[in-house]
Structure 1
Amino acid sequence: MIRTGYTMRRSWIKVPLATLLLFGSVYILTSMQDTRESLHVSSDTEERQKVLIIFTQTRSGSSFTGEVFASVNNSMYLYEPLYPFGQNCASFVEQKQRLLKQILNCDFTKLQTTYEYGFNKSDQKDYASCRKEGFCFTRQSIGLANSYRKVCSRLAPEHNGCRYPMQHRILNKVCDNSHLIVAKVTRICSLEDVEDIYRHLTAAKKDPYIIHLVRDLRSIASSRIKLNDHLNLEGIGGYVTYSYCRRQRRNLEYLKSVSDGAKMSSIIANGRYLRLRYEDMATNVIDEAKKVFEFLELPFPREVDEYVRSSLHPNITHLKQIVAKGREGSKEARKLLKKIDQPYGKVRDPLKIVNEWRSIVPFELVKRIQDECADVIEKMGYTLFGNKENMKDFSFHSFARK
């Protein structure tokens, strides 16, 4: 039996905020018959290189969450390593698994060959400069780029000033020297497909962990609207209910089958799975990050605390007042406001993140998502709204808090 930390019956919100039940925000699934003591990592395992896979979907806050853990000194952050295979998470599954097994085991020798295969077989365009720079999204992986230059200048100063494209033997060395490897993975659908990667890394003497990052489906719809892409509201509704909702439902069904004993999960049996809601991460990031590092059996780093505090600007009203009145610092405030409004940005206004969808998404679209995905919404600990008035009333929480 799997312990998820809470149960929730289907119901429409009718009670005020003060009477909402309080639920935990981080869910660690373990086998009930196993105790935490029996799963404690042995002394030789503690010396193994830790690998963190952030398993999630796009528009789920993965950029900000990934950067939090990538800010750890001596870490290697892999931002969307499966990018060349395109957006369809159900395609090229074996090839994606193979690539992750290789690079998370610090073997980058076949990276360019795999990139070429992915781009040639999928419809993905190389907007991430994967071919030119030898690695996808180097500008989103600043820590990796800096570490690469340091290692390269020491081992291969003759390599054109250590410019792009990156050498794979240098990447191997950077990876070997890293205490923590973090990979943001959005292009694999199923948690069950991550099992094979986990078992491979364990056999390779790595110390792997899986964070399952989720977000309110209605908030995802809001994020899609803000992107202003080719989808209209009806298209966004279909995309959220078909792609995002079905994917979350399948993973919940898989976890239930593990809980019921119908399937086996090494990740869960070994206590290496943690489900994290983005809303909790956004509104209580320091405490949530500390819990994650406790899950990773690592001390909470000072540099993570500093990064988080520099990335959060909750007083957006104050910033707007500075700009409007032309006061000292208005130039910096204007830049910060632009970063907060950027869809792919990493500077966050926590309250805006949690509540903005309730002002942006029409209730008709909210109702469609709730009608088709009520089971997923409630199992993730979010609140269903029965009417527009309750949705617009911010005295009601949209998710169960502690």
Structure 2
Amino acid sequence: MPRGVCIKRLQASACCTCQSNGARGVRARPDALTPPSFRGELHSKPLSSFLPNYRTAGRAAAAIPDGALGERKEEPSSLSSRTILAAAGLAHTLRGYLTTDFFTGHVSQCVLKGQCVLKGQCVLMDNVLLALASIAIQYTAIRTLTSKPFQLCPLPSPQNCGLGGQETDPPFERGGGAGCEDYNYFTVNASRKTHILVLATTRSGSSFVGQLLNQHQDVFYLFEPLYHVQTTLIPRLSHSRNAADRRVMLGASRDLLRSLYGCDLYFLESYIKPPPANHSTDKLFRRGASRALCQQPACDAFGPEDANVEEGDCVKKCAALNMSLATEACRDKRHVAIKTVRVPEVGDLRALVDDPRLNVKVVQLVRDPRGILSSRIETFRDTYRLWRIWRATGRRPYNLDLSQLTVVCEDFLNSVTTGLAHPHWLKGKYMLLRYEDLARNPLQKTKEMYDFLGLAMDKNVEEWIHANTRGSSEPSAKHKFGTVRDSAANAESWRLKLSYDMVEYTQAVCDKALLQLGYKAVRSADELKNMSLSLVQDKTFVAFL
């Protein structure tokens, strides 16, 4: 018998026994990544049958237990990982059958029509078969990442679900052929539910802007839900630029915002302390600032005729908030609006803006940093105690935390630079709004904001503007977090509260932000106190449509 010719054909679960220079073939070992059920399939069929069947790797992925790769089952990437690793296992298994043992000189166990052949022929076939296996693996991976189970139905178009859950595409392959009508969230978003985010910093007028949205009868509004994320993950209120804290905070914030925009308020329970019992809590931050959470079905204490419920009355008269009822209240509204001062820059929101399941529109509110500093000194008296000492004595304390000011200006500059550069991912998604412009012309600027959001202003919004922008002698008008103001007079009132040396220092560290946002610098104490001269330039910021 010629040397190196197989004396025994490849049988099920048996390895070819070859004889060459006295050496015997060695059984190839399937890779550990290959699932047991897949290994059995390898041993029960001729090896050559696996090469044209590139879908085998995809089927093998299902045999890997969920969670074995450290991925969540519901994420599309987890199935892709299982498929790719299973395919890698197939490749390694093939190599085990095909590779020559170069250290011992054993003949390569090339399989061709069930026979072993000589070493020279094995090398060529080894390369050919491995190339085919590589092509199959890459094809499987690409098909897995782009296949129909991961297509979403966020928009009404001929390529996906239409309004009202009607299908225009074949049903999803996931879960036995479930279609878009089985995924309520995507059906809701098919009607173009708008997800509004008011991006601001503390003491910039964000509560006022949030209430402009809260008054709309079709908007479900949440006041600072990210407060709970911050107090849970980063208990100290810090303005540090700690990169690790920032990444943790931003990652958790994006996940929570994504859930809240889908009206999944249960996700918020993970951050509320103490944890809600039976999905009920009285610890939701500023619950009374949301009209929807002070009305039915979230609260039975007030009826439809109670249009303007004071925040304090809501907290007192409404029972503990049931998150199931809050979720129902959210789903009853056509749009969701969230106000936050805990996301530094618009660039941090790209993952949300790019998410095809969402229709995020960002309204970035900015204010003169000098006015922000003045307001914070009055509001956060303990935190800004050293600034108050500087204002009172005229001497800057040596241990003054300057980051309380510089971080604001850096975030403004970075965020506005990104927004005004008009990147493609912000097209139709970004509007810059100056607080001073809103304070001067509240009705006009509110209409511009609503036009950008694609919403029609209703009479509730207009009535609220008239009631809250003309000043009041009521105690609520004096509350530091209230929204009743003589808005035009309040816009530049900081000029009468800050000393010139504090203003001069602020202008030095925030010069670029002031210039870009259209705020004039003052050159003397007299110019600072001359209220007949406005420090706000006439500058128009057009929404990026």
Q: Is the 2:476–2:484 contact (alpha carbons within 8 Å) kept by the matching residues of 1?
A: yes
Work out whether 1:166 is the aligned partner of 2:310: no
In structure 1, C-alpha distance between the alignment counterparts of 2:223 and 2:405, rounded to whole Å: 26
Work out whether 1:193 is the aligned partner of 2:337: no
Among 462, 465, 469, the alignment partner of 1:312 is: 469
Compared CA separation, residues 355 and 152, structure 1 to 2 (3 A): closer
In structure 1, C-alpha distance between the alignment counterparts of 2:332 and 2:209, rounded to whole Å: 23
Q: Which has the higher helix share?
A: 1
Tell me the equivalent position of 1:254. 418
In structure 2, C-alpha distance between the alignment counterparts of 1:281 and 1:253, rounded to whole Å: 21
Q: Which letter maps to 1:80?
A: E
Among 196, 202, 209, the alignment partner of 1:58 is: 202
Instruction: Tell me how large the CA RMSD over aligned residues is.
Output: 3.1
Compared CA separation, residues 354 and 237, structure 1 to 2 (3 A): farther
Work out whether 1:279 is the aligned partner of 2:436: yes
Q: Deviations over 1:240-271 (max 9, x none)?
A: 43221121122134346x55xxxx551x22x1
Q: Which letter maps to 1:48?
A: R
Work out whether 1:220 is the aligned partner of 2:389: no
Q: Is the 1:245–1:376 contact (alpha carbons within 8 Å) kept by the matching residues of 2?
A: yes
In structure 2, C-alpha distance between the alignment counterparts of 1:385 and 1:46, rounded to whole Å: 51
TM-score w.r.t. length of structure 1: 0.71
Q: Which letter maps to 1:298?
A: L
Tell me the equivalent position of 1:295. 452
Compared CA separation, residues 358 and 152, structure 1 to 2 (3 A): closer
- Give the alignment of 1:135-174 within 5 angstroms: 135-149=284-298, 164-174=319-329
Q: Is the 2:364–2:431 contact (alpha carbons within 8 Å) kept by the matching residues of 1?
A: yes
TM-score w.r.t. length of structure 2: 0.53
Compared CA separation, residues 132 and 309, structure 1 to 2 (3 A): same
Compared CA separation, residues 101 and 152, structure 1 to 2 (3 A): farther
Tell me the equivalent position of 1:325. none
In structure 2, C-alpha distance between the alignment counterparts of 1:209 and 1:75, rounded to whole Å: 14
Tell me the equivalent position of 2:363. 211
Aligned residues: 315
Q: Deviations over 1:32-71 (max 9, x none)?
A: xxxxxxxxx9896883211110011011101111111100
- Give the alignment of 1:13-162 within 5 angstroms: 47-84=191-228, 85-86=230-231, 87-88=237-238, 90=246, 91-116=248-273, 132-133=281-282, 135-149=284-298
Q: Which letter maps to 2:524?
A: N
Larger Rg: 2
Q: Which letter maps to 2:206?
A: S
Tell me the equivalent position of 2:406. 242
Give, in angstroms, the shift of residue 163 of structure 1.
5.8
Q: Which letter maps to 1:312?
A: T
Tell me the equivalent position of 1:33. none
Q: Deviations over 1:113-160 (max 9, x none)?
A: 1335xx99xxxxxxxxx984263211222332214436899xxxxxxx
Compared CA separation, residues 180 and 152, structure 1 to 2 (3 A): farther
Q: Which letter maps to 1:254?
A: T
% identical aligned pairs: 21
In structure 2, C-alpha distance between the alignment counterparts of 1:225 and 1:97, rounded to whole Å: 30
Give, in angstroms, the shift of residue 276 of structure 1.
0.3
Q: Is the 2:223–2:290 contact (alpha carbons within 8 Å) kept by the matching residues of 1?
A: yes
Compared CA separation, residues 170 and 384, structure 1 to 2 (3 A): same
Compared CA separation, residues 228 and 212, structure 1 to 2 (3 A): closer
Q: Which letter maps to 1:273?
A: Y
3-state DSSP of counterpart to 1:287: helix
In structure 1, C-alpha distance between the alignment counterparts of 2:368 and 2:202, rounded to whole Å: 12
In structure 1, C-alpha distance between the alignment counterparts of 2:359 and 2:192, rounded to whole Å: 6
Deviates more, 1:229-238 or 1:68-77: 229-238
In structure 1, C-alpha distance between the alignment counterparts of 2:326 and 2:479, rounded to whole Å: 31
Q: Which letter maps to 2:350?
A: E
Compared CA separation, residues 191 and 228, structure 1 to 2 (3 A): closer
Q: Is the 1:134–1:164 contact (alpha carbons within 8 Å) kept by the matching residues of 2?
A: no
Among 171, 175, 192, the alignment partner of 2:330 is: 175
Q: Is the 1:152–1:170 contact (alpha carbons within 8 Å) kept by the matching residues of 2?
A: no
Q: Deviations over 1:266-316 (max 9, x none)?
A: 1x22x11000011111121000001011111222211100011011225x7
Q: Structure 1: 5+ residue runs without aligned partners?
A: 1-40, 121-129, 154-161, 317-332
In structure 1, C-alpha distance between the alignment counterparts of 2:209 and 2:347, rounded to whole Å: 22
